[in-house]
Amino acid sequence: MANNNAHGWQRVIYAFGHSMRGLKACWRLEEAFRQELIILVPLLPIGLWLGASPVERAMLVGSLLLVPVVELLNSAIEANVDRIGLERHELSGRAKDIASAAVFMSILFAVVIWLLILVPKWL
């Protein structure tokens, strides 16, 4: 796992490898992550096309990119809770529910950003 002897670029290369393993694991094991990325792929160029200014494009694209970031954190929390034990526990359920709520909030944030930027253009 962690290589405490790695420094400089070697540490960056190791960290990149760990990140790629995490993305691959999340793609393979988490259906919600796959669904969000499948939706993200066509929306990214649409956001770049519909944004009238660099700030609008950054907001449209950035709000979309936030969703899989939060989903990765949600998946990490769920994996840690499941590692501790599969029996039902109030705190485990709360942790999973709060992480899920964070994903919901990031999706809501993206929807609001898109509506605030695009609806006035069509009214």
For residue 2, the model assigns a pLDDT of 59
Phi, psi of 53 (to 5 degrees): -135, 165
pTM for the full predicted model: 0.87
Q: Which residues are CB-contacts of 70 (< 8 A; sequence separation ≥ 6)?
A: 102, 103, 105, 106
For residue 92, the model assigns a pLDDT of 85
What mean pLDDT do residues 57-74 have?
98
pLDDT tens for 10-27 read: 999 999 999 999 999 999
pLDDT tens for 82-102 read: 888 778 888 888 999 999 999
For residue 88, the model assigns a pLDDT of 85
Active site residues: 71
The yes-or-no verdict on residue 59 having pLDDT over 60 is: yes
Domains of the chain, earliest start first: 30-122 (1.10.287.3610)
